Structure 1
């Protein structure tokens, strides 16, 4: 193949959709293009498709900006390893993606420490426990811990017919993803111990793959294998976060990963479909479409999800100089955790914080606005604040 034509096809915006390429270029050119990708350009992965072939991806196409990793690596000024607001969004969104009815008020109630009062709130409480489980550094990714996480967050709440048999880490029968038609069939259940063992081994393997891309790949593979009768999507998203936490991305649980997915849900599911569609044309399971989905819809949108690095640095400098009191430090940490990038009023902060007089709250807000750490926005006679 002419080098110019190959370069043109590789840089085509439809390069992750072979069906579209098929309509743009002659069949012979597409076949030669795919052959060249297989020979020299695909990066092989230590994970297999259902027929035993190696999964691959196009490293030149799946490029994540360093700024995305920097955002997730920047420690937050919080006494907790997760943000309450981010946890609220994560739970609401991950359940919504699976079309499980819940209410934001119920999520806030459970996160405030109330006991669940119904089945919906039991699911919320289970997801809360799961998020707390993955943030604990004692819980490394292993098959046993993955099973514990599954039972904690999903398995114990399922009807009897959808639960794993006693002693089984994974399902013991076939499972299908059904829309208007059967869209995906999970891996033959007899192969699950082998394939899931390889997935866990890959999660703990050192290598040269970008951590953010590897997290997305673990997410894809768990959902692709579909090791459970129900809850595979929720487990894939938990595994994604778990891997980032385990690799030291301290702000991973201050960002509602599932919130970004929910807002681009069609692209999320289309990426799974596209991978299998491409495989029917090329004979190779190329996961690039899923990685590109995460790069464009999640990772490259993170910069606005957390306070600017300069805000964090300025607060730390003020704290070190002694110009921030312990109460103000507690209030700042609470604001970051409880509201994230959202807005709040002084009255709301007084009510939610619960252990400071209004005069203290008002003084804190005005001082931190003057320091450039909080932003004021007027809505008629009302004023709201947010972290810069």
Structure 2
């Protein structure tokens, strides 16, 4: 990954002052903003290639950097050389943060969700979408298992057959732990615990689950090339302690000495775990878990339903570049923040589209049931099972899968399936000692005939 590092500020100023006349400097200095006309937060390596737009790239870069420095601020977290990281939130990001607040800080009713109440939504969505994040987060780290096989493993609670499946199961358990820990303060112990859950039986580089690395013999590679060397192992405990102190400080209070938006702060936690690289393996999984933990802790409950890893996996090079851009440009963390906030915004919009699709499907199905007269005899959970049976003729339902999907007891899951089978909407059969239920191919016709 060849990225040209921009010149240091003082050197850039000297070179531009010597190269251009005062009139040229005056004309250009107010021409550019922190972002381009499309709202992109460009790195020097990107800007220098756009000769059609930036005919004098060094002068344009000086103008852009000047604009950024005016709204930039340092945070109390430092790089290997003791230089503080900084962030700069231009109007384009402020706009996205406002939209994220409206969509993710409220509730799903923001998408006209007369579909069901929040408690029912939680039951229907959380399990499957936490599974989605667990699967794609592990795939980002190299797990080679299809989504279908992985979901089958999680739903049926079967033991993992290989390391890839172990990674996915561990990620699922880690995500559940992060959700349950949202009321706790961040501590080294919490970070170690999440890492231990994530890497149990699925860890490389001779690393130990739930233990900070003791070796400096580690680099971050992408596409066969070294892109980053983490800070020394002897500094990890101090850096993690400082990160926990940063997380504990209230930056959203009106009386705070400085404001940092909660979504930005969650993204900083994500970035810093990747930068400190406190573990020999599993840093990405731990970083994403901490991001979710802080978002939930900050009241963005919709993030129980959102998978960011699914989008990160589609463009892994951009994910890596956002780290490299930060390291090569005065530790300006805005590159990573900008990339991550765009990912979050897309993930929320995809969830809303998913919910609208499910909502319409739900309404269509409920209309059919209204006509059949069976709606009043079935609970919302049982109606949802029946809807899935209508959508997938031939699907086999197991009590263990229903238990996990709806967070109910095994007895309740069995009762649900038995009740639907008594209405002749599922066909019961035995496989060994286990009772299974299959969706008949003519289920919709059966419901229609039962009017």
| TM bracket (short chain) | 0.7 to 0.9
Residue 90 in structure 1 maps to residue 133 in structure 2 = yes
Q: What is the 5 A alignment of 1:1-388? A: 2=26, 5-12=29-36, 15-22=41-48, 24=54, 25=56, 27=58, 30-31=61-62, 33-35=64-66, 37-38=68-69, 40-60=70-90, 61-63=92-94, 64-73=96-105, 74=107, 76=118, 77-80=120-123, 83-103=126-146, 104-137=148-181, 139-154=184-199, 156-158=201-203, 161-163=206-208, 168-179=211-222, 180-207=224-251, 208-277=259-328, 279=329, 284-306=330-352, 307=355, 327-331=378-382, 344-345=391-392, 348=395, 353=402, 355-356=416-417, 357=420
TM-superposed CA distance for 1:156, in Å, is 5.0
Go from structure 1 to structure 2 and tell me whether the alpha carbon gap of 1:169 and 1:5 turns closer, same or farther (over 3 Å shift). Answer: same
Q: Does the residue aligned with 1:183 lie in a helix, a strand or coil?
A: strand
Q: Does the residue aligned with 1:216 lie in a helix, a strand or coil?
A: helix
Give yes or no for contact 1:140–1:246 (8 Å, CA) kept in 2: no
> Which segments of 5 or more consecutive residues in structure 1 lack a partner in the other structure?
363-380, 384-388
Go from structure 1 to structure 2 and tell me whether the alpha carbon gap of 1:141 and 1:348 turns closer, same or farther (over 3 Å shift). Answer: farther
| Distance in 1 of aligned mates of 2:28 and 2:422 | 69
| Distance in 2 of aligned mates of 1:197 and 1:155 | 24
Q: Does the residue aligned with 2:138 lie in a helix, a strand or coil?
A: helix
TM-superposed CA distance for 1:159, in Å, is 5.2
Which string of whole-angstrom CA distances, capped at 9 and with x for unpartnered residues, describes residues 243-291 of structure 1? 11222222212111211211232221221222223x2xxxx21111111
TM-superposed CA distance for 1:158, in Å, is 2.5
Go from structure 1 to structure 2 and tell me whether the alpha carbon gap of 1:65 and 1:112 turns closer, same or farther (over 3 Å shift). Answer: same
Which string of whole-angstrom CA distances, capped at 9 and with x for unpartnered residues, describes residues 296-344 of structure 1? 23324412314259969x99xx9xxxx98594322467799xx9xxx94
Normalised by the size of structure 2, how large is the TM-score?
0.66
| Distance in 1 of aligned mates of 2:82 and 2:225 | 25
Go from structure 1 to structure 2 and tell me whether the alpha carbon gap of 1:263 and 1:20 turns closer, same or farther (over 3 Å shift). Answer: closer
| Distance in 2 of aligned mates of 1:188 and 1:9 | 37
TM-superposed CA distance for 1:22, in Å, is 4.8
Give yes or no for contact 2:203–2:282 (8 Å, CA) kept in 1: no
TM-superposed CA distance for 1:51, in Å, is 1.4
Normalised by the size of structure 1, how large is the TM-score?
0.75
Which string of whole-angstrom CA distances, capped at 9 and with x for unpartnered residues, describes residues 54-109 of structure 1? 21111115332433233333264335496222123212211211222123313422
| Distance in 1 of aligned mates of 2:142 and 2:162 | 18
Larger Rg computed on CA atoms: 2
Query: Relative contact order, CA 8 A, sep 6+: which one is greater?
Result: 1
TM-superposed CA distance for 1:20, in Å, is 3.6
TM-superposed CA distance for 1:28, in Å, is 5.2
Give yes or no for contact 1:16–1:288 (8 Å, CA) kept in 2: no
Aligned residues: 346
Give yes or no for contact 2:31–2:63 (8 Å, CA) kept in 1: no
| Distance in 1 of aligned mates of 2:383 and 2:98 | 28
| Distance in 2 of aligned mates of 1:382 and 1:293 | 46
Partner residue of 1:369? none
Question: What RMSD in Å do the two structures reach over aligned CA positions?
Answer: 3.8
